Amino acid sequence: MQILVFVSSHCPHCPKAVEVVSKLIKQYRDYDLTYKKIRAKTSDAKILSARYNIVVYPTILILNDDKEVLYSVKGVPSEDNFRKNIDQLLGLRKSFWSRVFGS
């Protein structure tokens, strides 16, 4: 899986989003989870922004190996909420409904 963080140099919230992701990514080294910061004005950003319909900064995407979006958040997520979502996507944590009704 890969985490993409779309940022703009004029965005006051983008540094905090990068901080949250870069802090948490260290905890998932053993799970083949990678992280990439996408700066808004680069050619790479223009291609990816069009592909994933990015119009708000910061936007964080978690992609599977086929580059499909598994999770998306606009703005700065809380560390706890973001960690829970990563854990769930990696199969480290079951959702509430899975715990109640089974997998």
Q: What is the Cα 15 distance to its own chain's centre?
A: 14
Range of the domain at 9: 2-101
Q: pLDDT band at residue 102, thresholds of 50, 70 and 90?
A: low
CB-based burial, 20-45: b 16+ in 10 Å, e otherwise = bbeebbeebeeeebebebbebeeeeb
- 74-98 pLDDT per residue, tens: 999 999 999 999 999 988 866 555 6
Q: pLDDT band at residue 32, thresholds of 50, 70 and 90?
A: confident
Specify the DSSP element, H or E, that contains 71: strand 69-74
CATH number at residue 77: 3.40.30.10
Q: pLDDT band at residue 99, thresholds of 50, 70 and 90?
A: low
Domain count, the chain: 1
pTM: 0.85
- Which has the higher per-residue pLDDT, 62 or 99? 62
